Amino acid sequence: MGFLASKAFGDKGENAVKCLLDSIGVDVNLKGKGIEYDLECKLKRKKFTIEVKYDWMAQKTGNLAIEYYNTKKNAPSGIDATEADIWCVCLEDGENITIWMTPTSLLRRHIKENKPYRTVEGGDNNSAMKLYRQDDILSIFVRIDDKLSAEETLKTLKKILKGI
């Protein structure tokens, strides 16, 4: 997959998360250039940031990819570079997008304590990723999307924010 396709998936995920959060009263702004997260958010007086990843292969493989290194720049990226408070992954479920969130610190701890199923290179041909079985790694995430009412979504988001 090329850069443009990868960027299109990334934009799709960021917009899905932004729309969801906007709908429950969170003030959301897309990142500025060079910032190590995708969304700047504010809920009342609480400010937080989100890194959004769209894993378009997860539905097909049953794995979740966590990017950690940029092979072209020879530098940390993804989970090893983000400054985001929350890590969010968008997954395809048939024709729908599901949105999963976890505190970035919890994901980092999970990766440190749990060996990946495999390590691969891919994305837009510049990233190294750790693959985890979805059934295992999604246990540290919370699904936060249209399966919940607006009230339940807000309550769930507040629980995640307590973990950051």
Span 112-137, mean pLDDT?
A: 89
Percent of the chain with pLDDT strictly greater than 70: 92
| CA nearest to 50, candidates 146, 157, 159 | 157
Domain ranges of the chain: 3-162
Percent of the chain with pLDDT strictly greater than 90: 68
CATH of domain 3-162: 3.40.1350.10
* 123 band by pLDDT with thresholds 50, 70 and 90: low
Tokens standing for 45? 């007086």
| CA nearest to 146, candidates 96, 103, 102, 101 | 96
In tens, the pLDDT along 146-163 reads 788 899 999 999 999 998
Alpha helices for the chain (secondary structure H): 3-23, 58-61, 104-113, 134-137, 150-162
| CA nearest to 17, candidates 163, 135, 116, 160 | 160
What pTM was estimated for this model as a whole? 0.90
